[in-house]
Amino acid sequence: MRLRDCHNFHDFRLLAKKRLPGPIFNYIDGAADDEVTLRRNTSSFESCDLVPNVLRGVSEIDMSVTVMGQKLATPFYCSPTALQRLFHHEGENAVAAAASSLGTMFGVSSLGTVSLEEIRKKYPGPQVYQFYFHRDRGLNRAMMERAKEAGVNVMMLTVDSITGGNRERDLRTGFSIPFKLNLAGVTQFAIKPAWALNYLTHEKFRLPQLDEHVDMSGGAMSIGKYFTEMLDPSMNWNDVAEMVKHWNGQFCLKGIMSVEDAKRAVDIGCTGIVLSNHGGRQLDGSRSAFDQLAEIADAVGDRIDVMMDGGIQRGTHVLKALSLGAKAVGIGRFYLYPLAAAGQAGVERALRHLRTEIERDMKLMGCTSVSELSRANIRFR
């Protein structure tokens, strides 16, 4: 199977599985506990049907949107994700380049493997910095100042990860950063020598957003351990309100799932929220963002930009979310599998496929712009 054979989400996933060692593939692919929420994130779209209109004159399509003050040429953006250079040596550079070529937004994670300054200098598109709240308040302030000096457009605080989810696939292989694998995990790396050669012959893996503050050289630090030991479970609304005031710009909370929390985000001055259950990787059994979207959009959609992520695999999924009230949708695994499969070329192919699907689907829906999508276009079974 080659990149040119990839035409949808599942094709890219299959190619990534063929190329990645098992522990790394399962880190991308897996979720918490029984992975019920992971599956529901996509299946939730299946109970919603699109109702098209015809004879509307759809020769020209405008799919641009404005979210948190950023003009995007597409109604989707690349959500910040961790450890990208583990999947392919190009890492965040590949994703930022692909997103910029489409005129959409991309993000760099606190656990990113390329510095946010490097990405900001190279690529002109709107950039998000995804931030975790640490026990060390000095570290929090330093990281925010660094992002501001780098020229980051949007601060995105992840609020659903004050402790690590129970990701049992990682436990079975011993997956951690730096690597400290069990026998099963080592065996999986041994049978994928091409990945190992690629990894060892390129720039050393590092976490530049944290390397001045966190010493990972003394032993393995699993992702779960990082969440459990370094992030602050005492974080509360007063802490976030102080951050919003300090940032004094576009500030988004990622991981909002209740109407009450959405209203509080408005009250403390946030300009955006992302409905998200972290791709099913934190609280298994959590409601899907799509299932919760209408309720929250109705409550606060006129006062704050509402976005969602989780389970997006098709252009029709994007149109359903926009029809329910989302201003834009974030994608994660959707570009991580192509990144793992083929680097920048894979990400560009996947994003262009999604853009093409949305354009075609808007024509079939009888809509010439995103603003024409509404609940009149959908029905639930």
* Angle formed by the axes of helices 333-365 and 9-19, nearest 10°: 170
**Which residues on adjacent β-strands are paired with residue 163?**
none
Burial of 46 (0-12, 13-18, 19+ CB in 10 A): exposed
Dist. CA 166–CA 184, nearest whole Å = 19
Q: Phi, psi (5° rounding) for residue 47?
A: -85, 5
Cα pseudo-dihedral 362, 366, 372, 378, rounded to 10? -80
Contacts 24+ apart (CB under 8 A), 72-75: 72/103, 72/104, 72/105, 72/126, 72/328, 73/102, 73/103, 73/104, 74/102, 74/103, 74/104, 74/351, 74/354, 74/355, 74/358, 75/318, 75/322, 75/327, 75/328, 75/329, 75/358, 75/370
Write the Ramachandran bin of 91: left for phi over 0, alpha for psi from -120 to 50, otherwise beta: left
Dist. CA 30–CA 36, nearest whole Å = 11
CB atoms within 10 A of CB 145: 12
Residue 360, CB-side half-sphere exposure with 13 Å CA sphere: 9
- Is 278 designated active site? yes
SS3 4: helix
Q: In angstroms, how far is CA 227 from the centroid of its own chain?
A: 17
Instruction: Out of 134, 278, 317, 353, pick the active-site residue.
Output: 278
Q: Which residues are catalytic?
A: 278
